[in-house]
Structures are given as structure tokens and as C-alpha cells.
Structure 1
Amino acid sequence: MTNTPEPDDLYVDHAYDMVVVSNRLPVDYREGPGGETEWRSSPGGLVTALEPVMRAADGAWVGWAGVADREFDPFEHDGISIIPVPLSADELEDYYEGFSNDTLWPLYHDVIAPPSFHREWWDAYVRVNRRFAEAAARAAAEGAVVWVQDYQLQLVPRMLRESRPDLVIGFFNHIPFPAYGIYSQLPWRRQVIDGLLGADVIGFQRAADAGNFSRAVRRLFGYTTRGTVIEVPEPDGEVRRVVARHFPISIDAGGFEELARRPDIQARARQIREELGNPKTVMLGVDRLDYTKGIRHRLKAFGELLRDGRLNVEDVTLVQVASPSRERVETYRQLRDEIELMVGRLNGDYSTLGHQAIAYLHHGYPREEMVALYLAADIMLVTALRDGMNLVAKEYVACRFDNDGVLLLSEFTGASDELRQAVLVNPHDIEGLKDAMTEAVAMPQRERSRRMRALRKRVRDNDVANWSATFLKALTGSGQVTAGIPDSLQAAIAHLAGAERLLVALDFDGTLAPLVDRPEDARATDRALEAIRRLAAIEDTRVAIVSGRALDSLGEVADPPTGTLLSGSHGVELKLDTGPIQIDLRDAELAKLDRLNEIVESVASGADGAWIERKPAGLALHTRRLSANDGVALQHDAKERVEAELLGITVRTGKAVLEFAVRSSDKGESLNRLRQHVGASVVLYIGDDVTDEDAFAALDGDDVGVKVGQGKSLAAHRVRSPEEVAELLERLADARDAARGGASAWT
């Protein structure tokens, strides 16, 4: 065994603002005819997803080269800087084949196969994760974004945070995350969760996976979780907010369609059908040879359809591409034997001289050949028993520019959350799977076209560029907010329009009303007020204004239309259909409030332009009329004085305002109370301030958050100003009114 070099021996001559860390590099090693080193772009979902991102960012990719016991210097390939990390043969066996693929993979896929737990595998996993973390830390510039990929490297985020706290760290889990009852079997369950919590944003394929992770955090650590936000205590006493939510991955849809439109690839598709004997129907399965993909279930159903005469081998051929996978792992060797035995038996029983029942191909193919196969196939079979996403389903849809073909899709794939116009199946139900296959064969052309058009729109609107941009925006909050309503937000509006019971919750200052020097002068724009009136008149639609202002002040400046719900003082005060809900402070809280007023008045009295807004359970120190430096200094002084003398005071920083409360509440809690009060199935929340992040954190599932202006935010969407908020509300009112058939009044 060749000695694996220490990380310090790995030379990196450049610091990068963006670093991707994954088990494999986006290139494969080849030895040329003269013994020289050659690198070729490697196929695969992750590479397909990240190639465009890395080229645009001029970033570096840290990963293993795919060859054990070899060292390679950093190099550039196809516009991406490559930083290879070496692995020894023993590490490959223990860290990769062992812990990653014989412990984590089966555990995370609901124990379809039993996982193995070995301490030496765990030790190798820790050691290799540290090597990847150190390589990434060395390559990253000050304040760089480091995006760690997948289950092989779950300890890297915490290791990076400990060595480079300046970094912005993201992690994306490409496979499912199991329910706690399954995850809890892992002997090193706390260490893995703690490793992931080193990231600022942890991404999952499905909302259910993110929920499973948050529940595991609560069970193992007891940390507070609110919506998609986890509050992680740090050693210095600070609480760090970690976002854990779903970001469904996608493909370069335009690139696949471009290939599909090439005449040579279309000619190859016709040739494939001829080589298969020109059957009426070609079914296609494309999978890694893995027990999670449901290949055995697919073959069993197809064989029974031939046996029972519901399909005829003269008319229907199944093409099964099963690319080699982890062939040194015993479970995978056994799986290959089983599948090839099934294929041989079915072909022996049902093939004729002119028509083969199953064309079985144990190869990997270049993208061009795969696109030709997609075009040749009338039916795409995706029958995975558990799959984080399944990009093959999206690739097939992207290639069908002819709006033909049928996608038969397992409901246990992440793709099924998005591709609802597919024929959805439970692959464990063999009879149901057989019925779905015959339904797909007999489906009329008009129905095929209707479904495929809807599927293609979904894949085009949510391509890989949108996936990466959404994740990176959640991670960094960076990027210029462009004018108008972005396409992704327009799609969200269309989704909200069809909600069963919709709650539209809106911040006031900076969202409905432009910011002004004198808060009493603030007014919502006329367009926004009219849009709110229209929304409030639509059946099953409620509008709420959620503000840090005291309820009396909010009522005066907002001029809310009839039926609008109000939340003031960050949720301490509410005005619901039943009337205002008055707070009743205890004697100790009243005493604290009196002393709080004295302290802040004393601080503010020496600053011309500072003023105090009093609220039922606290007060706000406004510094908007001061210079930026003077305002920061005054707020710092007030915060120090209050915290030194009073315990249990909630302090909240906003735009040129510092707020204190003797009774804790926030906009997230308020939003949850409003949701419960109106029985909303979906929520739209729009806000511009730091205090609105609590509300964004409370959003879940199909809810939509919109941040107004720049700055880091948990919201998935952005607009620039209150004028664009008004435009957004107008569009929602139009769409909602049309969806509800013009019906008015909440019932």
C-alpha cells in the first residue's frame, strides 16, 4: 500500500472564492497509450448538476480522482480548477465501500438491505473526512463559500467550521435522510448530526427528509427547531442559526433538449428501434445496478405481463440499462447475479428469434447515446424503492421535445414530488405496477401529450441553474435583486393561486409602505392597499399585517381594509376576528418595563434625533435620523446598559431600530397563531427586515417567503421594493380570483 500523503503535502497555489467538495472529482483518470495521464469529464447526476455552476464561478473542486494509492497535482480541466485528494486502497475499502456504501447507504435508504456497523470503518470515515476538510480549508479564500456534497462527507462541515470559522459552509445531501427510528440504529448518530450542523445551510431533496433531520436533532441534542431553522449553541455562548430545508436538485434541461434535437441523435434513436426489431412499444429502464432502484420488481412485473398474455413479446420490448456499480461490495455482486439470472430466464421463456423480450445492457453510456435511448423509448420505467431524487426521470422528460412518451414513476422518488403528471406507482405493489405498465402502453396520444407538456414545463422551470441559485442564495443572501417579478416567483404565485385556504401575511414598514424618517408618516402604497382589498374579498383568502409597531400605531398608519387581521409588537398584540387580544403583564414585568423606559430614556436623551416608541410590553429605540456610525454607537450603549441591569429582556435589532421587550414573542410565533386562527393550508409571507426572518423560519411545506430588498435571508424569493410588492399582490389577486372562479367572501 502506498502511503497516503498528509494534507500539508498537497500543494494548492491559489485561493478560491468558491470550493465544491465531493467524494469524486468531475473527471475520470485514464492512462494514455504512452503512459501519460489523461482526464475525461465523468458522467453522473452530481457532475451534470454542478458543472455549469463551477464554470460560472471559476471555482475549485476538491475530490478523489478515482484511483487508489496515486497522488496527482492540482490542475485545470474544462474551466474548473481540480484539487485531487488521495485515498489509499485500505481507505477506499473501509471509508468508501465500507462505511459509506455498506453502512450509510442502506441505512439511509430505509434498510432495503441490512447495514453493517464496523468501528474500523468509522475510524476510516473520520480520517478521510478530515483530509477532505483540510484540503478544502487550504483552497478556500477568506470568507469563501464551501459547498460540501453528499453522505460520504457528513463530518466535513463541522471540521471546516472549527478550523475556518470565516467560511460560509453549505451541505447538500443527495440521498434520502431516514426517519429517526431507522437513523437511531447508527452507533455514531450524534457525531454525524453534529458534523452536519457545522454547515450554515443543509439541503435535502424532499421536505420529508429535512423534517426527518430536524426531528433527529431534537431527539439527540434537544436543540430548538422552528420551521426550517435549527438554533445551534456554540462554545462561545452564541446561538448559530442553521437552515435545514429541501432544495430538489435538477438537470441541465436545455442541454438535454439541445442534444435531443440533433439530427444525428434522432437518427440513432431510429436505428435503436430497428435493432430491437421495430416493436410497437419500447420500454426503457436506466439505473445504476443498485438494490434501491427496483429493477427486480420491474422485471418481475414485466415477466408476469408476458406470462399472462397482457403484453406480447412481438409488440413490446424492455431495454434495461444497468450501469456497473460498487462491484467490490458483496451485496452488489449478488444483486447482479440475481438480475442477470432473471433476465436470462425471462428471455429464455418469452423471446422469439425475431424479438427479444429484454435487452439487458450492463454498461455505462455517453450522454449522446442515452439521449438517443430516451428518444427511442415510448415508456420510461423509474421504479425505485427509495431514491433521493432520480434525475433519469427528468432527463427523459427534457429530451421529449416531441411531447410524446410516458413516464412511469415511483412515488418513493424525490422526483415524484414535482412530476405529478407522470403515472405514479408503488413498486412494491406488483399488481399495481403491472396495471400501470399496461395503462402506459394503451395511453392515447392526446393524453400522452397533455401529460408530457406539463412535465416538461416543470422540468424547464426548475432546472439545475435554478436549483444551484436557490441554494446559494439561501446560503449567502448575495446577488443583485433584479427588477420585476422573477420567473420563479411567478411560478410560486401560480401555485398559491390554487391553495385551498390561503393566508397572505405582510410586514408593513419597508414592505407595504416605503421607509420614512418619521414612522407616523408611513403609509402603504395605493396599489398595495387596493390589492389587499381584492385579496380579502376572495373566497378562502385572508390577509394579515404583521408588524413590530404597537397595535394602535399599526391601525393608524396601515388603514387596513375590512377583515384584515393585525399583529403588533412582534406578536405580543393581535387583532383577530374575535377582536383585540390584550396582553396582561405580571407585576414583575411591569416593574421591568418601568426600569427599561428609564434606562433607554437616559441613553437617548444625549442623542439629538433619537426617539423612543413605547409598546405594551417593551419599547423601540429609533436611530434612523442619526448618522450610521452614531446610530450603531447609541444602540450598542443602550444594549449594554439594559443587559447589565435587567435580566430576561428580549433584544431585537432591525433597520436603524433596537427593540426591547419584557415578554418574548416574534413574528414567527405570531404567524403560527394567525395560521391556526384562520385554518390556512398555505401561507405567503412578505417582509424586508431582520425581524421578518423569524416569520420566514416558521414557513414550511408549500409556504412561500418573499424578502424585500438585499441582505441574507431565509426567504426563497426576492423583490426590490414596496412597489414590486404591490405588483406581486396584484398578480396574486388576479390569479387567485381566476382560480376561485370569482367567488368572494371567506366561508
Structure 2
Amino acid sequence: MHAPESERDELYVDHVYDMIVVSNRLPVDYREGPDGTTQWNSSPGGLVTALEPVMRAADGAWIGWAGVADREFPPFEHDGISIIPVPLSADELEDYYEGFSNDTLWPLYHDVIAPPSFHREWWEAYVRVNRRFAEAAARAASDGAVVWVQDYQLQLVPRMLRESRPDLVIGFFNHIPFPAYGIYSQLPWRRQVIDGLLGADVIGFQRAADAGNFSRAVRRLFGYSTHGTIIDVPDDGGDPRRVVARHFPISIDTAGFEELARRADVQERAQEIRESLGNPETIMLGVDRLDYTKGIRHRIKAFGELLRDGRLKVEDVTLVQVASPSRERVETYRQLRDEIELAVGRLNGDYSTLEHQAIAYLHHGYPREEMVALYLAADVMLVTALRDGMNLVAKEYVACRFDDDGVLLLSEFTGASDELRQAVLVNPHDIEGLKDAIVEATRMPKRERSRRMRALRKRVRDNDVAHWSASFLETLTGAGIIKPGVSDPLQAAINRMAGTERLLVALDFDGTLAPLVDRPEDARATDRARAAIERLGAADDTRVAIVSGRALESLGQVASPPEGTLLSGSHGVELQLDPAGVTIDLRESETAKLERLSSIVEEIASGADGAWIEHKPAGLALHTRRLTGNAGTALQHAARNRVEAELLGITVRTGKSVLEFAVRSSDKGESLTRLRQHVGATAVMYVGDDVTDEDAFATLDAEDVGVKVGQGKSIATYRVRSPEDVADLLERLADARDAAREAPSRWP
């Protein structure tokens, strides 16, 4: 049974996150311990490997189903990643997952190799479950967070998120093909699915052809304008929202597979496998989920005919077929298993000898070490899929062949064939052509094998899974995966500006100098950052300013700024340019407006446990960080509507889990301009993490440097990952400034 919707806020999340991955399954598998305790084991895969670094850097969470029906699990931490399970009932598993996802969408998106089924109750379950995933993501997402939705089971989530949380940056990646319109148009809910996907800012596909199919479907169904990879989506009567739809071919953890392949115990296991098969001249290998799209029947048919015709001999060639179980509750898959096992039995009965088996058929999965040993043992890898979004097995085989040997025989109908052009490419529907290609692969000279494999390995190394995720996130946010430390381009920028005559270093506080905390009064700058600020500010040619949305009094208390540091509070309404400070004298009308503003917001916040108000000289801030995502968003929405309806001339600004109101307008951009003029700066470095810092970045000139901290869209040229990296940046700037002062002829 599910908890009522009213109870689920507490069930799902007690924290909000800047980066969220949403997928049908979590990156962990549930297991009940011998004493009845809940245990979680990592389910390593390319997606997890790619996203772990960015999720840790950006305070990320992973939302998905735990793999157990009719069970509720609270959020938990696993290997440094926050996990938020979403529950599914047994009925939903049958209708949403086995039904609509895998008996409607899967066959339809794979060119109707098997006929899809269309049932209204399946669609209704699909909508219901997608909404549950979207609501979980909306609750867990901080203001302006990046949400990356994965795969065909959740195609409605982007639009649902866009409607409830327009502040979010939303990406979607489709791991399977997207069909041509003539096939896609069979789907009764074709408009709803396309509209669901168009809620994303970036929609990723495996192949350029898939992205083209999607854009053509958008034009046919909605008539929206498309320009290359850009789709203009009307947005509530305003300017069209630009959606990117393009290919981002997924890959694997290349280095991880090669590292396993180089292990002595794995190589020994590969030799054991060859010996157990009778040491044939050639071992051919197929590794697939037991799925009708994989072309397993076609390769078995081709192999059988080669044995029948004497072009291959069972004493010389053995086929190892690993067919891991898949969706065995779906009738189509049960039938496929029966057909494959019948074909294997007949072929072995006809051609195997006591010493040599024609086909070693293995209907179960294996741990990664065993798979790598199989790849090393195999002389020829057979990938004969009839339709496949990518096929990572082909890339895994190539990654493991550090010996530059082995032959990859690859279907033209896989996404991998677009990249791995040095494979032996085949049309698996052409049985005669497939047979010729198999013979060619078994007889290929060593020199030719090595030439092809070297080219394949370079391609897989240069385009690994980290490159895939960084490319997608860079398109989505402008950042990609932000590595720790200071990047080479940012170091070069530091070196360029180090010799400027008069430098202003302006820094946001919360999330930039100080890590974000639940209680703002507990925030403190890191020791390294404070020491670097003291070094920078000690010289006459450099001034440091802290630019914050906090009231000046609060900023002075938490920042404990070194002597000589300039302060800007309340988004520039308050400026302290000397120890005497600056006072704000509000006009009588502004004072009255501030009193009414406080009354309205206090009344609204009083009914929300966890919300609190920060009073400022010219306004106030409604903080919702302690509320769940949906509750915080709803409270901010109510406060904004009420204030705008009852008071004129109020400036409203949204930040990270905070809504700010001011009776006197200013922003960090105006503040930075005034600070620049006060200092007489010839160059400015500005560092900030919030959406409110974008106003400051917008004022920077060509010789200035803007640095965004963390994920999220930004016009800043450079990025760092965290406050610790800000400290590193300031230390490097202080070092470069010292070196520039010591250099002769510093200025012309």
C-alpha cells in the first residue's frame, strides 16, 4: 500500500538538492539481510559511473524505484549519493512498466520488430507513475536545480516538472531509438508524449537520426518551428522557449574495463574459459539481454548454416551465447526464450561432438569480472541487433582488448555503428551477408585485426561515458562535469589579470565563501578563504568586497570580514565602504510599505512550520530551505501573489530557497558597479553561486573575470565546484598578484 499523498513529503525528502537524476531504477539493489534488515548493494553501470562525480560535486540526489513492489523506503545515503526511492505497486509494475513501457513503447520505438500493444489502462498507469516521479523530483529540487530525467519510461516527467517548477533546468536523455514518424504516429497518445518531452530544455538521443525523427514528429504534430537542433516551443504567450534536441552518443567507463582486463586473475580466467571449451581456434561470443531486438535468432541461424555447409567446423569454432534473463513476465519474451533454446538444442544435437560443443548457451547474468574474461577469451564479438539505441557491449569488448586483437562484427542498426566504423559492419537481416562476414572475421589476418582494433580503441577511449555526461550537462547548463580545483583556462585568466593596476575582488558569501547550511546564522567562511582574503586585501593595489543578499548586520556577524573589506548587503541596498558604514534612510512612504509588507509575509509564513523571515533595512526575505521542495514553492507562490496584489512598487527576487522583497530596488549588478567606481578598479573578479549573482556577472567587462560556483545556468565564463575550490582560486590569485608585483616593468 502507498502512503497518502499528504504524507509523502516527509516520506520522500528532508533536504533539497542542486542536482537530481531521475530514472526508473535506482543505482542500488535492495536485499534483505539475514536478520531482516534492509541492505543496499551498488548496481554498477555506465550511467552511475558517469554521474557520480557531478552528483557529489553538486549536492546531488538520485530518484528511482527500488526494485521491490508494494514497499516504501525512506531516503538514505549510499556511497556518498543521496537516494530517494519512489514506490510502485504490483499493479503499477504490471501496467506502467511491463505493459506500457515494455509492451507498447519498447516495440514501437524499435521499429515494430514485435507488434506493440495499446491499452488505455496501461497509459493511465504510465501517466500516474510519471506524475509520482515528477512530484518526488519537484519536492527534492532546490531553486534553479538541474534535473536530468533518464529514458523512455519517464517521458512525461519533463512537462510535469516544467508546470510545477518552472525555475528548474530540465534535461532528458532517451537511451533507446526514436522511430520515424510513420511508425511513431501509431501511438494513440503521440501528442501527449511529445509534449511531455518538450518540457525539457535539452532532449538527448543516441543517434543524429533519432533526433531528426523527433524533430520531424514535433513539426508534424504541433507545427513548431525547428532550426537544426533547436525547437522553438511557445511559452505562455511570451517569446518561444528554445529546446535543444540533438544526439549525445552514450559510452562506457573505458578505463575501468581496461583496468579489469589487465588484471592477472582475469586473464587467467580467460585462459580457463578457452580450455574449458576445448581450445578451439576461434571463439565467437554474443552477449545480450534475451530480447527480440538483439538478433540472437539471426546469428544462430547464420552459424548453423555455416556448420551445415562446411564453411565452419565445430572442431575449429565455438559460439558462446550469453543471454541474460529479461522481462520474463511478458509473454513475448517467454516465447522468445523458448524459440532460442529450441534452436540451440537442435543445432547442438546436429553438430556437437563429445569433445566440442557447437554453442555454449548461458541463460543468466555474470559479474563484470567474468564478462571481461569472456571478452578476452573471444576472438570474434558478434553484435547483430536488429535495432539498438547504442549497444554498449560492442564498446565494452573494444575497451577490454588492450592486446589490439579480436574482431568486432557489428550490426548497422546499432547506434554504436555510427562511431565504430572499423568494425565489420553487417545487415543482420541479410543471412547470406551475415554468414560471409562471420567467415571473414574468423579468417582475418593478425595485421588487419590489429589495425582495426587500434582505431576502435582510440574512438572508445576518446569518447567515454564521462565525455558523454559532460557533453550533455555542458549543453544543458553551460558547465558539464565540474572537476575539483581550478581549471587551466581559469588559471590562465588569473595570470592575465594578476598584473592589472587596481584590482577589485568581489565575492558572494553563502555558497561561495561559506558552504550552505540549514541555519544561516551558522554559516562561516572557510579558513583558507578568509586567509586568502586577508592576503589580497593587505596590498594597496587590491580591494576585496563581500556582496551578499544578507542584511549588512547579519553579513558582518557571519563573515567576520578582515579589516578593509568592503561590504554590500541586501543586494546592494546597503553599502559599507568605510568603517563608519552607510545608513539607509527610508522615505515615509517606504517605511509604511515595509511595515505592510512584513505584516503580509509574516501572516503567510506563520502557517508553514520551517519557514522563517529575515528582516532587512529595506525589505525582507522569506526562507523556505527547511521546507520540502513543493511546500516551499507553494509558500513562495502564495506570498508573491499576495504581495503583488496588495502593494505596488515592490521588487521581488528569487534565490536558492528564498524569496526576497524590497521597497527600494537594487541588485548585485548595481552594487558591483558602485564598488568598481569607489575602488577605481581597472579589472574585477566576481565569484558567486546564486541566480542573484547573474546581475553582477552581467556588468563585467571583457578584461574582468566571472566565476560561477557549482551547477546551474550562468553567463559567467568560468566555473569552480565548491567553496573549497573558491579558496583555492583566491590563494592562486594572491600568489599571481605577488608574483606580478615582483616582476620588472609591471605596467607600461
Q: Residues 276 and 70 of structure 1: is their aligned pair in 2 closer, same or farther, counting only changes over 3 Å?
A: same
| 2:717 alignment counterpart | 710
Sort the Cα spacing of 1:225 and 1:357 in 2 relative to 1 into closer, same or farther, 3 A: same
Note closer, same or farther for the CA distance 1:88–1:655 as it changes in structure 2 (3 Å cut): closer
**What is the letter of the counterpart of residue 360 of structure 1?**
Y
Aligned to 1:318: 319
Q: Which residue of 2 aligns with 1:735?
A: none
Q: Which residue number in structure 1 is paired with residue 202 of structure 2?
A: 201
1:162 equivalent in structure 2: 163
2:478 maps to 477
The 3 A distance-change label for structure 1 pair 125 and 405 is same
The change in CA–CA distance for 1:14 and 1:709 in structure 2 (over 3 A counts) is closer
Q: Is the 8 A contact 1:58 1:79 kept in 2?
A: no
* Whole-angstrom distance in 1 between the partners of 2:317 and 2:44: 29
Q: Is the 8 A contact 1:5 1:86 kept in 2?
A: no
Aligned equivalent of 2:420? 419
Q: Summarize the alignment of residues 78-227 of structure 1 with structure 2, pairs less than 5 Å apart.
A: 78-227=79-228
Separation of aligned partners in 1, 2:215 and 2:106: 20
Residue aligning to 1:16: 17
Shift of 1:8: 3.0
* Bigger mean CA deviation after superposition, 261-270 or 30-39: 30-39
- Residue 307 (structure 1) aligned with residue 308 (structure 2): yes
C-alpha RMSD of the superposition: 2.5
Question: Distance in 2 between the 1:5 and 1:449 partners?
Answer: 61
Q: Is the 8 A contact 1:49 1:250 kept in 2?
A: no
Q: Residue 347 of structure 1 aligns to which amino acid in structure 2?
A: N
Question: How far did residue 54 of structure 1 move?
Answer: 3.4
Provide the residue aligned with 1:260 in structure 2.
261
> Does the CA-based 8 Å contact 1:224-1:231 persist in structure 2?
yes
Q: Number of residues paired by the alignment?
A: 502
Question: Which residue identity is paired with 2:127?
Answer: V
Deviations 1:140-175 (A, max 9, x none): 111110000000000000000111111100000000
- Change in Cα spacing, 1:335 to 1:5, as seen in structure 2 (3 Å) is farther
Looking at structure 2, the residues matched to 46 and 708 of structure 1 have their Cα atoms a distance apart, in angstroms, of 28
| 1:507-518 equivalences in 2 (<5 Å) | none
Secondary structure, aligned partner of 1:248: coil
> 1:446 Cα shift?
0.6
CA distance in 2 between counterparts of 1:288 and 1:129 reads 25
* Whole-angstrom CA distance in 1 between matches of 2:183 and 2:268: 48
**Structure 2 residue 301 is matched with structure 1 residue 294:** no
CA distance 1:136–1:448, shift in 2 (3 Å): same
- Distance (Å, rounded) in 1 between the aligned partners of 2:122 and 2:671: 58
Distance 1:331 1:52 in 2: 39
| Alpha carbons 2:21, 2:147 under 8 Å: kept | yes
SS at match of 2:12: coil
Separation in 1, partners of 2:185, 2:165: 30
Q: Which residue of 2 aligns with 1:402?
A: 403
Segments of 4+ moved more than 6 angstroms: 626-630, 654-657
1:59 positional shift: 1.6
Task: Give the distance between the partners of 1:48 and 1:251, measured in 2 at CA.
Answer: 8
Greater relative CO (CA pairs within 8 A, separation 6+): 2
Quote how far apart the aligned CAs of 1:46 are: 3.7
TM-score of the two chains, using structure 1 as the length reference: 0.65
Question: Aligned partners of 1:171 and 1:627: how far apart in 2?
Answer: 37
* Pairs within 5 Å for 1:665-704: none
CA contact (8 A) 2:258 2:402 kept: yes
> Does the C-alpha gap of structure 1 residues 110 and 31 become closer, same or farther in structure 2, counting only changes over 3 Å?
same
Q: Distance in 2 between matches of 1:47 and 1:361?
A: 27
| CA distance, structure 2, for counterparts of residue 289 and residue 424 of structure 1 | 22
Match of 2:375, as an amino acid?
Answer: Y
1:237 aligns with 238
- Cα pair distance change 1:64/1:655, threshold 3 Å: closer
Aligned counterparts of 1:63 and 1:139: Cα–Cα separation in 2: 12
Pairwise CA distance, 1:288: 0.4
Give the aligned residue type for 1:403: D
> 2-side partners of 1:66 and 1:708: how far apart?
40
- By how many angstroms is 1:3 displaced? 3.6
Is the counterpart of residue 271 in structure 1 residue 272 in structure 2?
yes
1:295-326: CA deviations, max 9, x gaps? 00010001001111111111111000000000
Once residues 136 and 102 of structure 2 are traced to their aligned partners in structure 1, the CA distance between those partners, rounded to angstroms, is 23
**Residues 332-347 of structure 1 correspond to what in structure 2 (within 5 A)?**
332-347=333-348
CA contact (8 A) 2:673 2:699 kept: no
**Residue 437 (structure 1) aligns with:** 438
Match of 2:456 in 1: 455
Q: Which runs of 5+ in 2 are unaligned?
A: 491-669, 675-696, 701-713, 720-748
CA 1:432/1:170 → structure 2, altered by over 3 Å: closer, same or farther? same
Contact map agreement 2:206 2:249 (CA 8 A) in 1: yes
Whether contact under 8 Å (2:12, 2:136) holds in the other structure is no
**One-letter identity of the residue aligned with 1:33:** P
* Mapped partners of 1:3, 1:484: distance in 2: 51
Name the counterpart of 2:368: 367
Distance 1:412 1:5, change over 3 A: farther
Corresponding letter in the other structure for 1:77? H
Q: In structure 2, what is the equivalent of residue 39 of structure 1?
A: 40
Task: Read off the aligned partner of 2:312 and give its amino acid letter.
Answer: L
Aligned counterpart, 2:650? none
Structure 1 distance, partners of 2:202, 2:85, is: 25
Q: Is the 8 A contact 2:12 2:85 kept in 1?
A: no
CA 1:426–1:4 in 2, change beyond 3 Å: closer, same or farther?
farther
Q: Cα offset for 1:51?
A: 4.2
Partners of 2:90 and 2:61 in 1: CA distance? 25
Task: Output the CA distance in 2 between the equivalents of 1:352 and 1:277.
Answer: 11
Distance 1:75 1:246, change over 3 A: same
Contact 2:28/2:66 (CA < 8 Å) preserved in 1? yes
Q: Call closer, same or farther: CA 1:293–1:153 in 2, change over 3 Å.
A: same
Determine the C-alpha separation between the residues in 2 that align with 1:290 and 1:134.
Answer: 32
Report what 2:706 is aligned to: none
1:69 maps to a residue whose letter is: D
Deviation at 1:629, TM superposition (A): 6.9
Would you say the 8 A contact 2:46–2:253 is kept in 1? no
SS in 2 for 1:82: strand
Contact 2:410 2:424 in 1 (8 A): yes
How much does 1:416 deviate?
A: 0.4
Corresponding residue SS for 1:10: helix
Secondary structure class of the residue paired with 1:112: coil
Whole-Å separation in 2 of the counterparts to 1:122 and 1:64? 19
Q: State the distance in 1 between where 2:27 and 2:380 align.
A: 30
Distance in 1 between residues matched to 2:698 and 2:49, nearest whole Å:
41
Is the contact between residue 477 and residue 710 of structure 1 (CA under 8 Å) also seen in structure 2?
no
Matching residue's letter, 2:717: Q
CA deviation after TM superposition for structure 1 residue 48, in Å:
4.8
CA distance in 2, matches of 1:48, 1:230: 31
Report if aligned partners of 1:4, 1:69 keep a CA contact under 8 Å in 2: no
Deviations 1:96-140 (A, max 9, x none): 000000000000000000000000000000000000001111111
Is 1:376 the counterpart of 2:377? The answer is yes
Match for residue 614 of structure 2?
none
Determine if contact 2:225/2:232 at 8 Å carries over to the other structure.
Answer: yes
Query: 2:283 touches 2:380 (CA, 8 Å); kept in 1?
Result: yes
Shift of 1:353: 0.5
2:707 alignment counterpart: none
Q: In the TM superposition, what whole-angstrom CA distance separates every residue of 1:28-85 from its partner, at most 9, and x where no partner exists?
A: 1111222221111225554454445434544211000011001111111122111100
Counterpart contact for 2:198–2:243, Cα < 8 Å: yes
Once residues 263 and 422 of structure 1 are traced to their aligned partners in structure 2, the CA distance between those partners, rounded to angstroms, is: 27
Where do residues 386-401 of structure 1 align in structure 2 (5 Å cutoff)? Answer: 386-401=387-402
Contact 1:282-1:317 within 8 A present in 2 as well? yes
Residue deviations 1:356-382 (CA, integer Å, cap 9, x gap): 110111111111111111111111100
Which residue number corresponds to residue 66 of structure 2? 65
Moved more, 445-454 or 44-53: 44-53
